[in-house]
């Protein structure tokens, strides 16, 4: 029997009605899932990769890159304000030192070119008049997986990106933020800024899960030595305590604070912060590229001092802005505003705050 063409069309319509809707829902769901899983691209941003300025979305690195296989490389993060790279010289010194320690050639011409590459990226990414961060990563390059170093002529992989830096809210500096604690599980060369950051990742995740800003790293259950991505300072008996530069990542922001404290006549005691002195800690803050200074008012369930941002912290926040002033007058006002620091430039050489040891200004390595 011959089928009527209209009946066939009718049947197709029915099949479509029954199957097409669930199918399209399934396809839509799968597409959404795939796009959620895909790493977020940074539309419009350029990066530098191995000699070329290319769209970030097109940047590709081999799966044989030793950074991917062994975390065999290092990185730097510098803040830029209106095109000015903060602490450029210090960041370059730390980068070269790290490369030397890892036995990656620090005399490569590209290392000298990094500040120029960073400035060009700030331009390309429309950040020359904004706050930004510049991330540099150098790995030992691409080679078949084998632990020992690859052939000496293997070129390192060099990646640089400049991204916008969102302003921290005024409440961050005025009210302070909280921290949690965790044992320090890092290797003994955490003075090198390697890309091997798993303990730091786990620590920051703990902070995030507790709605805290930072996770302080505790050694031997006794000493606060650092934080997941910052250095740590405590005010004890009016003196400023911070772990010595060896066996921590010597932060550029840390060094600025130590220098500024000295200028302000605040005695700096360079030693790990003993948990046993908790009751004597009146102020606590962390330092890092980003906020510069982050006042910590609570750690785990313990309130620091009176739970408010203290006078030494405030003084040093202002003094940090003064460092921007020394480096680049045009950007200092913006930095001070961003940090919620209500101080005039010429007031930055203010006297030591109440509670700080006056006139000492010594750096004590305990």
Ligand X SMILES: Cc1ncc(COP(=O)(O)O)c(C=O)c1O
Residue 142, helix vs strand vs coil:
strand
For residue 79, indicate whether it is catalytic: no
Closest to ligand X by CB, 77 vs 143, is 77
Given a contact cutoff of 8 angstroms between Cβ atoms, the answer to whether 174 and 342 are in contact is no
**Using CB under 6 A, which residues numbered 173 to 202 contact ligand X?**
200
**CA nearest to 234, candidates 184, 275, 195, 177:** 275
Q: Does 253 bind ligand X (CB under 6 A)?
A: yes
Three-state secondary-structure class, residue 107: coil
Tokens of 53: 């300025």
Nearer Cβ to ligand X (142/273): 273
Q: Out of 92, 117, 134, 252, point to the residue binding ligand X (CB under 6 A).
A: 252
Query: How many residues form the binding site for ligand X (CB under 6 A)?
Result: 14
Beta carbon of residue 230, minimum distance to ligand X (angstroms, whole number): 5
Residues 88-117 close enough to bind ligand X by CB under 6 A: none
Q: Note whether 231 binds ligand X by CB under 6 A.
A: yes
CA angle 80, 71, 87 (to 5 degrees): 20
**Encoded tokens for 315:** 């003084």
Catalytic residue among 82, 188, 193, 329: 193
Alpha carbons 266 and 269: distance in angstroms, whole number: 10
State in angstroms the smallest separation of the CB of 173 from ligand X. Answer: 16
Binding mask of the shown chain, residues 27 to 66, with x at each position contacting ligand X by CB under 6 A: ----------------------------------------
Tell which one of 125, 178, 181, 287 touches ligand X (CB under 6 A).
Answer: 287
Question: Cα separation of 273 and 179, whole Å?
Answer: 15
Cα separation, 113 vs 192, in Å, equals 21
Structure tokens belonging to residue 153: 């002529």
Minimum Å gap between C-beta 253 and ligand X is 3
Told to check if 267 binds ligand X by CB under 6 A, we report no
The helices-and-strands tally (H runs, E runs) of the chain is: 10, 17
Residue 353 in the binding site for ligand X (CB under 6 A)? no
Binding site for ligand X (CB under 6 A): 77, 200, 226, 229-231, 249, 251-254, 287-289
């Amino acid at each position: 029997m011959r089928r009527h063409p209209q009946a066939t069309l009718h049947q197709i319509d029915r099949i479509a009605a029954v199957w097409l809707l669930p199918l399209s829902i399934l396809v839509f769901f799968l597409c959404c899932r795939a796009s959620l899983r895909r790493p977020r691209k940074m539309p419009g941003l350029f990066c530098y990769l191995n000699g070329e300025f290319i769209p970030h979305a097109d940047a590709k690195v081999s799966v044989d890159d030793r950074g991917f296989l062994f975390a065999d490389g290092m990185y730097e993060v510098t803040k830029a304000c209106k095109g000015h790279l903060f602490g450029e010289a210090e960041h370059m010194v730390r980068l070269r030192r790290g490369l030397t320690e890892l036995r990656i050639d620090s005399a490569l011409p590209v290392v000298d070119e990094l500040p120029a590459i960073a400035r060009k990226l700030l331009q390309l990414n429309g950040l020359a008049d904004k706050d930004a961060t510049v991330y540099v990563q150098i790995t030992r390059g691409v080679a078949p997986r084998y632990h020992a170093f690859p052939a000496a002529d293997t070129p390192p992989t060099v990646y640089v990106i400049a991204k916008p830096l969102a302003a921290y809210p005024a409440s961050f500096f005025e009210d302070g933020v909280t921290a949690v604690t965790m044992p320090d599980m890092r290797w003994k060369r955490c003075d090198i800024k390697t890309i091997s950051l798993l303990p730091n990742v786990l620590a920051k995740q703990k902070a995030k899960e507790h709605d805290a800003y930072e996770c302080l790293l505790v050694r031997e259950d006794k000493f606060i030595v650092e934080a997941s991505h910052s250095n740590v300072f405590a005010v004890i008996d009016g003196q400023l305590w911070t772990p010595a530069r060896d066996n921590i990542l010597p932060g550029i922001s840390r060094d600025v604070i130590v220098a500024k404290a000295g200028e302000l006549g605040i005695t700096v005691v360079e030693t790990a912060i003993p948990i046993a002195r908790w009751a004597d800690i009146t102020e606590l803050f962390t330092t890092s590229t980003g906020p510069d200074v982050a006042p910590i008012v609570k750690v785990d369930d313990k309130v620091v001092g009176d739970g408010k941002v203290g006078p030494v912290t405030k003084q040093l926040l202002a003094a940090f802005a003064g460092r921007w002033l020394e480096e680049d007058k045009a950007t200092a006002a913006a930095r001070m505003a961003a940090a919620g620091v209500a101080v005039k430039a010429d007031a930055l050489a203010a006297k030591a705050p109440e509670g700080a040891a006056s006139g000492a200004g010594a750096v004590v390595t305990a």
